[in-house]
Amino acid sequence: MASKSLLFLSLFLVGVAVPMAQAQLGGLGGLLGLINISGTVFCTANGNMGTNGQATPAFSNALVQLQCGASKTVVSSATTNGSGVFSILLDPITMLLSSLLNNCNLVVNTPLSSCNSALPSTGILQSPLQFVTRTLAGLLSIVNLGAGGFNFLPGVL
């Protein structure tokens, strides 16, 4: 009889403790997910799409770095595919969204001349981050960020 009472008590405690733990993690639940930074780099003088629907070649095999802080610490990086598309996944527990949006930039150090010899061989492309959307995939929360628009900085290596 004592073992049945112990089993009942154990099941009761688990039944009470699990919802309480989930309720207590409510604020932390928004942090448990992913931050996805993605975009496309084009082979133009400013790394952006051409104007007026003009066909714009993609910048393939370009190294895109996520640099943060005054020291421009490289937090993560990705290489663009054949279509110029890149994606960087981050853990929101180690990188706060507000810090990313306020203190980080996307930087392309690969010389523009590597995709078009008529473009400069020195300088970088740099873009601030912008919030795009938040997606829920089951229990997983994904915050999607993108490039706010690349600018060419000449003479920067």
Domain ranges within the chain, ordered by starting residue:
1-30, 31-153
pLDDT grade, residue 45 (50/70/90)?
A: confident
State the pLDDT at residue 16.
42
Beta bridge partners of 64: 78, 108
In 3D space, the residue among 2, 26, 22 whose CA is nearest the CA of residue 14 turns out to be 22
Q: Give the model's pLDDT for residue 56.
A: 84
Of 24-38, 43-57, 79-93, 118-132, the one with minimum mean pLDDT is: 24-38
pLDDT at position 1 is 53
pLDDT digits (tens, 9 = 90+) for 102-128: 999 999 999 999 999 999 999 999 999
31-153: what fold? Answer: Immunoglobulin-like (2.60.40)
pLDDT, position 2:
55
Residue bearing tokens 């400069």: 120
| 44: confidence class by pLDDT, cuts 50, 70, 90 | confident
Cα gap 87→106, rounded to integer Å = 11
pLDDT of residue 95: 76
Gap between the Cα atoms of 154 and 50, Å rounded: 20
Tell me, what's the pLDDT at 64?
97
Q: For residue 32, what pLDDT band results from cuts at 50, 70 and 90?
A: low
